[in-house]
Amino acid sequence: MSVQVLHVTGARPNFPKAAPVVRALREHGVDQRLVHTGQHYDEQMCDVFFRQLGLPEPDVNLGVGSGSHAVQTGTIMAGLESLLSQEQPRLVVVYGDVNSTLAAALVAAKLRIPFAHVEAGLRSFNRAMPEEINRLVTDRLAEILFATSPDAVAHLASEGVAADRIHFVGNPMIDTLMVNLDRLDAVRIRAALRLPEQYLVATLHRPSNVDDAGDAAELAKAVHASADLLPVVMPVHPRGRASLAASGMFDHPRVRVVDPMGYVEFLSLVRGAAAVITDSGGVQEETTVLGIPCLTLRPDTERPVTITHGTNQLVDRAGLAVSVRAALDRKQRAPRTPPLWDGRAGERIADVIADFL
């Protein structure tokens, strides 16, 4: 008998989305396997997440490592083609918008194995973002599309996806946040890092911010102006570290650089922050639920619900410090939680998959 469900994960953002789905399918008694492509592969970008989120050890680790988009995607495809041909699962489940997502979608489609996309329908409408290409192709090929927000449902419908393939289920990343809420200890992480009571957190790694030397220099100037207001703690992604160092980002005495953190440690840090500066997608969602002001250094977002219902706002580099000051001065209103961000998305996804099987 073939495996019923095969999950493909590969990068840090995938793991909090997969954990509630794996857990809920286990309650249904579904035979499932977990594949880790190894797109993110070091301790703090990968292994610690499996331990902290209660994910089982991967049944398969392809160990692809880093590389250009083409090299990484192609290597993952080669490994997955052999695996899926052998396993012949009844359904593949992919998560988010990373290269592992795209690779699994292409392989499953070519082998005519149905697959489901968790976090379908998000659109920035900016094709300069590699993730936007991954989203578009994955959604075009998916058999089952799980949407996290009403705007995502609308995007899929406008692209001609049949209504019976779209399922508005909420956000499984928020399931993981809610399950771990009592473990998020802002006081403890502040003491461990010897931080003052008020500080900013910055997570910055997008190509549009760090790849070009001129952009990185502007970014450093903007973050330094923010650090003049409050100390900035910056967990630095391996991607872009050299560019940020060359820009002088780490030269300001109140910019504190730390290595990537585990899930619990990072969100404990965020929970205690006065505001967060980011270009990450998931952080926009997590700050919305935690009620922390979020300043997203991008011209667009594929998660507009975090602006209409949450604490997020889009800012540019030139206006960052002014926006930080405004966020610090403004009395933060309790955010309106987006629809179905109630901690039960994983259960809804599992119900749909169980019916499909």
Known catalytic residues? Answer: 205
Indicate the residue type of 246. Answer: A
**CA atoms lying within 13 Å on the CB side of residue 14:** 30
User: Which residues are CB-neighbours of 289 under 8 A, at least 6 positions away?
Assistant: 174, 177, 178, 310, 335, 337, 341
Q: Within 13 Å of residue 194, how many CA atoms lie on the same side as its CB?
A: 4
- Separation between Cα atoms, residue 258 and residue 241, nearest integer Å: 11
- Cα–Cα distance for residue pair 261/244, rounded to 1 Å: 18
Distances (CA, A) of 337 to 13, 138, 289: 21, 27, 6
Rounded to 10°, the helix 281-290/172-179 angle is 50
Taking phi over 0 as left and psi of -120 to 50 as alpha, with beta for the rest, 270 belongs to alpha
Classify the phi-psi angles of 88: left when phi > 0, otherwise alpha if psi is within -120 to 50, otherwise beta: left
